[in-house]
Chains A and B, each alone.
Chain A
Amino acid sequence: MMTKKHQLQWGVRVGAVAAIAAGLALSGCGKKEEASADGVKPVGKITSIQNIGSDTMVNLAQAWAEGYHKVDPSVSVEVSGGGSGIGVAALINGTCEIANSSRALEPDEVTKAKARHGHDPKEHLVGWDALAIYVHPSNPITEISVEELSEIYKEGGKIDKWSQVGVTLPGGDEMIRVSRQNNSGTYHYFREMVVGKKSDMKLGSRDMNGSKDVVELVSRTPNSIGYSGLGYKTAKVKVIKVSKKKGDPHVEPSIATTWDKSYPIARPMFMYTPGQPEPHVQKYLDWILTDAGQKVVEESGYVPLQKK
Chain B
Amino acid sequence: MSVPASSTAGLFTETPFIRKKRRTERLAQCLFGAMALAMVIPLLLILGYLVFKAAPLLSWDFLTTNPTNGMRKGGIWSALLGTVYLVVISLCISAPIGVLAAVYLNEYAKDNWFTRIVNLSVVNLAGVPSIVHALFGLGAFVLFARLDRSILAASLTLAIMTMPVIIASTKEALASVPVSFREACWNVGATRWQTIKAIVLPNSISGILTGVILQVSRTAGETAPIMFTGAVFYRNIPEGNVFAYGIKDQCMALSMHLYTVTTQVTNAPEALPYAIAVTLLGTVLLVNATAIVFRVWLRNRKKW
Interface size on B, residues (CB 8 A): 57
Does B84 sit within 8 A of A, measured CB to CB? yes
Q: B151: shortest Cβ distance to chain A, in Å?
A: 11
B residues 65-99 near A (Cβ < 8 Å) are 68-71, 77, 81, 84, 87-88, 91
Residues 249-263 of chain B, each 1 if its beta carbon lies under 8 Å from chain A, else 0 = 110000000001001
Q: Contacts A55-B264, A81-B260 hold; do A32 and B198 have CB atoms under 8 A apart?
A: no
Does B286 sit within 8 A of A, measured CB to CB? yes
Does B64 sit within 8 A of A, measured CB to CB? yes
Residues 29-54 of chain A, each 1 if its beta carbon lies under 8 Å from chain B, else 0 = 10111011111111100101010000
A62–B70 CB distance below 8 A? yes
B residues 222-265 near A (Cβ < 8 Å) are 227, 231-244, 246, 249-250, 260, 263-265
CA distance A77 to B91 in the complex (A): 28
A27 to chain B: which residues have CB within 8 Å? 286-287, 290
Q: B147: shortest Cβ distance to chain A, in Å?
A: 10
A residues 127-152 near B (Cβ < 8 Å) are none
A37 to chain B: which residues have CB within 8 Å? 240
Does B205 sit within 8 A of A, measured CB to CB? yes
Closest to A58 in B: B233
B81 to chain A: which residues have CB within 8 Å? 29, 32
Does B280 sit within 8 A of A, measured CB to CB? no
Does B184 sit within 8 A of A, measured CB to CB? yes
B290–A66 CB distance below 8 A? no
CA distance A58 to B256 in the complex (A): 14
Does A280 sit within 8 A of B, measured CB to CB? no
Closest to B67 in A: A66
Closest to B244 in A: A42
B236–A232 CB distance below 8 A? no
Shortest beta-carbon contacts, A-B, top 9: A39-B240, A28-B84, A35-B240, A62-B234, A69-B236, A36-B240, A79-B234, A29-B242, A78-B232
> Chain B: residues with CB nearer than 8 A to chain A?
63-64, 68-71, 77, 81, 84, 87-88, 91, 142-143, 148-149, 184, 197-199, 201-202, 205, 209, 213, 216, 227, 231-244, 246, 249-250, 260, 263-267, 283, 286-287, 290, 294, 298, 301
Add 19 more A-B contacts to A35-B239, A63-B70 (CB < 8 A): A3-B198, A13-B201, A16-B298, A20-B290, A20-B294, A24-B213, A24-B287, A29-B242, A38-B240, A39-B241, A40-B241, A50-B149, A58-B264, A61-B233, A66-B68, A73-B238, A77-B234, A77-B235, A95-B143
> Chain A: residues with CB nearer than 8 A to chain B?
1, 3, 6-7, 9-10, 13, 16-17, 20, 23-25, 27-29, 31-33, 35-43, 46, 48, 50, 55, 58-59, 61-63, 65-66, 69, 73, 76-82, 93, 95, 209-213, 215, 231-234, 300
Report 9 cross-chain contacts, Cβ distance below 8 Å, ordered by A residue. A20-B290, A32-B242, A35-B64, A59-B70, A65-B236, A73-B238, A81-B260, A82-B227, A213-B263
